Amino acid sequence: MKNKLKTISIWMMACLLASSANAAELYFEKDTSLPLVYVTVAFKGGAAQDPAGKNGVTDIMTKLMLRGTKEKTKQQIDLALDQLGANLDVETRAEFITFRGDVLSENLKPFLELLGEIISSPSFQSRELEKLKKEQISGILDSLSQDRSLVGLRFDETFFKGHPYSKANSGRIADIQSLTVSDVQKQYDRLIHSNQMIVLATGNASKSSVEPFVETVEKTRNTPAQIAPLPDFTNTPKKLRVVIFDKPDRTQTQVVIGQKGVPFTSTDLDALQLANYAFGGGSFQARLMVELRVKRGWTYGAGSGFKLGSHAHTWRISFFPKNADTPPAIAEAMNMVRELKAHGITQAEFDAAKRSLVNSASFSYNTPAKRMENKLTEKIFGLPDGYYRDFADRIEALKLDDVNRAIESFVDPDHMMIGVVATASVSKADIAKALHIPEKQIEVQDYRKE
Amino acid sequence: MLNKTSLRIACAMTPFLLLSSCSHAPLVKMNQKTGLPETAEISKDGDFEVIPVVGNFVAKRAKLPNGLRLIVLKDDSSPTFAYQTWFDVGSRNEVVGKTGLAHLFEHLMFKGTKNHKEGEFDALLEQAGVEGENAFTTNDHTVYIQELPKSDDNLDLIMGLESDRMVNLLVNDQSFKTEREVVQNERRFRKENSPEGTMYQTLFETAFTTHPYHWPVIGYEQDLNIMSSQDARDFYERYYSPDRATVVVVGDVNANDVLKKVKKYYGHILAKNTPDGNIPVEPEQKAQRRRRLHLNIQVNKVWMAYKVPGADSPDTPVFELIQGLLTDGMNSRLNRALIDSGIATDVSSGSFSLKDPGLFVIMTDLQKGKGTILAESVIQRELDRLKNSLVRDDELNRAKNLIRFHFYERMSTASGKANFLGQYESVYGNFQAGIDLQRKIQEVTPEMVQDVAKRYFVTRHLTVVVGTPKTH
């Protein structure tokens, strides 16, 4: 497969019918192409709201909500969903949680009644909690075998240490082990409130068919949520920081090089997205792809992108060379970052990136599902309506000078962190040498350590 | 296809007819329950055969004198089109000592041609706003995929580029060596440093002793290291030919316009009519085979595989249904027996729709501290249940509805439709077989499930690969 790490996303909004009944928000788009209805129910507040020592409680809470209500056991919920021809999944992200379902149009009413029950009156049984904790912990342990996701997880934990963005969405094993029903209930009481709820639906139905569900939640969950505002992250590395997440027997490393990013609402974001596209974010002609893969064959994938949130998260570069190529590849990537800061991108790169982003914009809003996701992102992160719809116009209006000014002020090679999943005994000395730093400056941490 | 267990849907589903905005309704009657055509009736429209697919969607198929097959399906729900080129060549066509050549060659197809220097292919498509430009190689096929905004210019662009690299590719030593190193890195990523990749490779190496399915699609390190650019040129000369290719276009396009352009861009390319050659036949497995791997993992893994016939077997619909019964949905048998019971965190199963006889695989990740013998015995017990008692009708219907739901989901996007049409045209030589398969799945009876389970889930045809944590 011809891999590329496509990390920037562009969306545009099509027309959605929106309303705000009481505190919750409901958005609906009719689509008769399938006899199905897709429903997303989101609540602001995700893993970043996990209390200290209880990382994982939000994810456990959402999963436990599917495992029993005051009226139904887990088995009864599973059976009810099967009988309705419905699917329902939950997901925890840093700043929101979602319940995503799809159902045959004709069964929308009972599906929404069930969903209303799941959200309004979960039972949080201790037996189910204990079973779920074991599953969750085993799932986290199993995920450690995937080096690419492992490096991302450990990078965030290390870079944002002490900040809510350091928390893993699925939690920490030590914290999960000690969670109680009371912890889960408290988190539910903090986060699940109608004034934090956004409901998005699309399919062969009408907006009025979804409104009773919204009203049910508004009646039962109508006290104010207690979502703590996130602080800005200020503890950026004082100098280039290198951390090896030491894992035995690696013949290949996974590298993430990152720095503090910008928030979703930054006025520089469009210019930086264009710059990122030219540097490593989505194009096979991007600098990283050309220098690390095409010219040197050092890596299969090479890319860069922004991780975005309500506060500045990260801008990061990633690639995965064999052990021997890791030191020169890291050194070359750092040189490229310095070069980017010093000279920006060229007129030709600017023109190509702009054309590509504008011409591919139609793929970002060509289905109701994509338009629904766009609206969700706008609402969660406080973006203006039409943020995605206007993306291509904003890109079209950019000038090379705007982009290079944004690059010069944003890119910060002296305060980056390099995270590497590698076998330290094999790679550490050569990485230090390639970066011209003392070996003792490289931190080494067991890959299993949370 | 292997399905994960996360999707959950359906029992006692009522009529589930795929509707679309397509304005060209088929003349044949569609089954109100399945949304599939009642018969595989074909009509003619000029150079095209017209074949109903699902709901209101109709595919048109034509064949050029040089053997190139074209399938066009109009779907104007989005102002875009998907373009896929399927070549009937994969690792199945490789020989011992040259493993991985088909996949490595796929990478080389993005290098320069006589008309376009290296990098131009990607640059031109990116400027046009391409989405999902990619390629993949399997045991049986090599596929090149793109989606583009609808326009006459973009149709010309993609056909010009794809037809050019079908016949004018240049493979020089330098780009070959660099790309070979990229592929070695891909191999390290997918196999060497991936426990699941290692288990997958071991499973096929153990189950197959003779047939090319024995080796990984990505190839062996030592074979890739000694491969030369001449090997790649020979491979291109042998297998990249219009008579081994199917072009699939799905989206907001006019079929007659597409055919006119295909004739213009591809019509002059000569067919090579290269046969598959003598692909070794796998001898019958006479005894159970087992491998235990010590890996950098934290929980145990158990993979079990039984020999099954090739995709064109009349038993294929039954295997699809067995997959649904075992692992599709929260109420499936192995979900209940392994996950609800606290033994595993994940379980999946399925066959691979391979041209030649392949495998039906069951894979499970266990919970911390749970042993592999227990998991294996639970799986075995559930397979025995299939053999020893008839499946209830309501359970069978639940599985059928799930399969139908997955089919509709696959057919809900332009690229999904193109993938379906290309895959079945490539595997069976006729994409109607894929539609027939969906129809036959709905006709499977409890007796057929029991019969297939008894015939195929036999110990002597079983291969087991167990992964356990390595101690350092």
Q: Round to whole Å and give the CA distance between B181 and B187.
A: 10
Inter-chain CB proximity A293 and B345 less than 8 Å? no
Q: Which residue has the higher pLDDT, B2 or A54?
A: A54
Pair of tokens at residue A368: 């109701």
Nearest Cα to Cα of residue A236 among A265, A260, A212? A260
Shortest distance, CA B108 to any CA of chain A (angstroms): 10
Residue B43 contacts by C-beta under 8 Å, 6 or more apart in sequence?
B27, B49, B50
- Are A2 and B106 in contact (CB < 8 Å)? yes
Per CATH, the homologous superfamily of domain B289-469 is Metalloenzyme, LuxS/M16 peptidase-like (3.30.830.10)
Residues recorded for chain A: 450
- Name the nearest CA neighbour of A410 among A293, A300, A312, A334: A312
ipTM: 0.88
CB contact under 8 A, B298 and A448: yes
A92 forms beta bridges with A97
B179 vs A297: CB contact, 8 Å cut-off? yes
* Tens digits of residue pLDDT in A179-193: 999 999 999 999 999
A35 and B19 within 8 Å at the Cβ level: the answer is yes
* DSSP 8-state secondary structure symbol assigned to residue B314: T
Tokens of A328: 């020169």
Q: What is the number of residues in chain B?
A: 472
DSSP codes, A199-261: EEEEESS-HHHHHHHHHHHHHHS-SPP-PPPPPPP----SS-EEEEEE-TT-SB-EEEEEEE-
Residues with Cβ within 8 Å of residue B85, at least 6 apart in sequence: B143, B144, B145, B162, B166, B245, B246, B247, B248
Tell me the chain A residues in contact with residue B129 when contact means C-beta distances shorter than 8 Å. 355-356, 358-363
Q: Which band of pLDDT confidence, cut at 50, 70 and 90, is reported for residue A367?
A: confident
Q: Which of B137, B189, B295 sits opposite A252 (nearest CB)?
A: B189
CA separation for the pair B151, B156 (Å, rounded): 9
d(CA B84, CA B70): 10
Confidence of residue A65 (pLDDT cuts 50, 70, 90): very high
pLDDT digits (tens, 9 = 90+) for A70-114: 999 998 998 888 778 788 999 999 999 999 998 888 889 999 999
Q: How far is A399 from A395, CA to CA, in rounded Å?
A: 9
Helix (H/G/I), strand (E/B), else coil: B115: coil
Pick the CATH number of B64-266 from 3.10.520.10, 3.30.830.10, 3.40.390.30, 3.40.50.1970: 3.30.830.10
pLDDT of residue A18: 35
Q: What is the rounded CA–CA span in Å between residue A253 and residue A148?
A: 9
pLDDT band at residue A216 under the 50/70/90 scheme? very high
* Residues of chain B contacting residue A106, judged by C-beta atoms under 8 Å apart: 14
Structure tokens that stand for A125 in this block = 């049984």
Instruction: Indicate yes or no: CB of B188 within 8 angstroms of CB of A322.
Output: yes
Q: What is the pLDDT of residue A179?
A: 98
Report the C-alpha gap between B81 and B155 in whole angstroms.
9
More confident residue, A233 or B35: A233
Which residue in the set A102, A137, A252 is minimally distant from B185, CB to CB?
A252
Both tokens of A140, joined, read 């986290």
pLDDT in tens, B372-406: 999 999 999 999 999 999 999 989 988 898 888 78
- Sequence-separated (6 or more) residues with CB below 8 Å from residue A449: none
How far does CA B177 lie from the centroid of its chain? 29
pTM value is: 0.90
3-state secondary structure of B41: coil
Where would I find the H helices in B168-294? 173-187, 195-207, 221-226, 229-239, 255-266
A42-62: string of b/e by CB count within 10 Å (b at 16+)? bbbbbbbbbeeebbbbbbbbb
Distance CA B89, CA B106 (A): 10
User: Which residues in chain A touch residue B296, judged by CB atoms under 8 angstroms apart?
Assistant: 145, 247-249
Chain B residues in contact with A355 by the CB 8 A cut-off are: 127, 129
Percent of chain A with pLDDT over 90: 83
B345 contact residues in A (CB cutoff 8 A): 135, 138-139, 142
The pair of structure tokens assigned to A53 is 């020592």
How many CB atoms are closer than 10 A to CB A370?
Answer: 18
> A56 vs B275, which has greater pLDDT?
A56
d(CA B355, CA B358): 8
Mutate to test the interface with B, among A10, A66, A366 (most CBs of B within 10 A): A366
Structure tokens at A174: 């030590």
- Separation CA A239–CA A261 (nearest Å): 16
If you measure CA to CA, which chain B residue comes closest to A250?
Answer: B193
| Residue B214: per-residue pLDDT | 98
- Domains in chain A, please, with CATH? 24-220 (3.30.830.10), 241-446 (3.30.830.10)
Using a CB-CB cut-off of 8 Å, the residues of chain A touching B250 are: none
Q: Where are the domains of chain B?
A: 64-266, 289-469
The amino acid occupying position B19 is L
Rounded Cα gap, residues B116 and A408, in angstroms: 35
Q: How far apart, in Å, are the Cα atoms of B320 and each of A386, B206, B338, B389, B449?
A: 44, 24, 20, 19, 10
* Dist CA B101 CA B103 (whole Å): 5
* Gap between the Cα atoms of B52 and B434, Å rounded: 12
Give the separation between CA B301 and CA B293, rounded to whole angstroms: 10
Helix (H) or strand (E) run with residue B290 in it: strand B289-295
CB-CB under 8 Å, B408 with A142: no
Distances from the Cα of A127 to the Cαs of A140, A180, B412, B435, in angstroms?
Answer: 20, 11, 40, 45
Q: Which amino acid is at A305?
A: G
Q: How confident is the model at residue A16 (pLDDT cuts 50, 70, 90)?
A: very low
Query: Which pLDDT value is given to residue B396?
Result: 93
Question: Is residue B141 within 8 Å of residue B88, measured between CB atoms?
Answer: yes
Distance from CA of A134 to the nearest CA of B (A): 7
pLDDT of residue B434: 94
Mean pLDDT value of segment A206-219 = 95
Angle at which helices A57-65 and A126-143 cross, to 10°: 120
| DSSP state letter for B214 | G
CA dist B381 and A190 (Å) reads: 45
Closest-approach residue (CA) in chain A for B193: A250
Nearest to B288 by CA among B165, B458, B419, B49: B458
How many angstroms separate the CA atoms of A445 and A210, rounded?
50
Q: Is B44 on the interface with A (CB under 8 A)?
A: no
Q: By CB neighbour count within 10 A (0-12 exposed, 13-18 middle, 19+ buried), where does B275 fall?
A: exposed
Q: Is B64-266's fold the same as B289-469's?
A: yes
Do A58 and A47 form a contact (C-beta atoms < 8 A)? Answer: yes
Task: Tell me the pLDDT tens digit for each residue of B303-337.
Answer: 999 999 999 999 999 999 999 999 998 889 999 99
Mean per-residue pLDDT, A381-394: 92
C-alpha B109: how far from chain center: 20
Q: Is the confidence at residue A214, as pLDDT, over 50?
A: yes
Residues B246/B85, Cβ–Cβ less than 8 Å: yes
Contact flag A320-B408 (C-beta cutoff 8 Å): no
- What are the φ and ψ backbone dihedral angles of B438, each rounded to 5 degrees? -60, -40
Helices (H), A103-205: 108-120, 126-143, 147-159, 173-177, 181-191
Q: Which of B321, B310, B314 is nearest to B349 (CA)?
A: B321
Ranges under pLDDT 50 in chain B: 1-27
Token duo for residue B425: 């045209």
Q: Tell if the CB–CB gap between A145 and B186 is shorter than 8 Å.
A: no
Angle at alpha carbon of residue B242, lines to B239 and B246, rounded to 5°: 100
Chain B residues closer than 8 Å to A290 by CB: 119
Q: Which of A34, A85, A359 sits opposite B401 (nearest CB)?
A: A85
Rounded to 5 degrees, φ, ψ at B87 are -105, 135
Model pLDDT, residue B39: 63
Over chain A, what is the mean pLDDT? 92
CB B363 within 8 A of CB B348: yes
Q: Count interface pairs A-B at CB distance under 8 A.
A: 195
H/E run at residue A349: helix A347-359
Q: Which two tokens stand for residue A168?
A: 């893993």
Neighbours of B385 (CB within 10 A): 15
